Amino acid sequence: MGFIKELYLNRHPGQYAFSMHRVTGVVLTIYLLLHITLHSTALLFGPDIYDKVLLTLENPFGRLLELLTMLAVVIHMSNGLRLLLIDFFDMARGHRRLAFLAVSFTVIFMGYAVWVIL
């Protein structure tokens, strides 16, 4: 509960970016474990089962999951680059601009991804 309270009390772009970075890190870790499990079915149960599992993901819901995964990756990556710039290049004074750039990059990239995937 402290995480949500901290987010509510400290309402500034850096806190929101930090929170999104933390949440997307957890989501991507869970995704990676599921992804490895899914693809290991080819080794454990054979190619027929693997193909059936992949066919179940070839629908609009599967595309939505693909876009959400891509969104998590882009948010995590852009916030990670923002944090690298702040920590290693002493750009803490410009953290609001860096947060705006990270959000802008995410929106532009995801707009292109939606256009390509859908």
6 or 111, which is more confident: 111
> Is residue 1 over pLDDT 60?
no
Which region among 49-58, 63-72, 88-97, 107-116 has the lowest average model confidence (pLDDT)?
49-58
Contacts of 70 (CB under 8 A, 6+ apart): 110, 113
What is the pTM (predicted TM-score) of this model? 0.86
Domain ranges within the chain, ordered by starting residue: 2-117
CATH T-level topology, domain 2-117? 3 helical TM bundles of succinate and fumarate reductases (1.20.1300)
Amino acid at position 107, single letter? V
> Is residue 96 over pLDDT 80?
yes
Q: What span, in angstroms and rounded, lies between the C-alpha atoms of 107 and 57? A: 25
Q: Quick: pLDDT tens for 33-64.
A: 998 988 887 778 888 888 888 888 888 998 99
Pair of tokens at residue 10: 């400290």
Q: Quick: pLDDT tens for 3-33.
A: 677 777 778 888 888 889 999 999 999 999 9
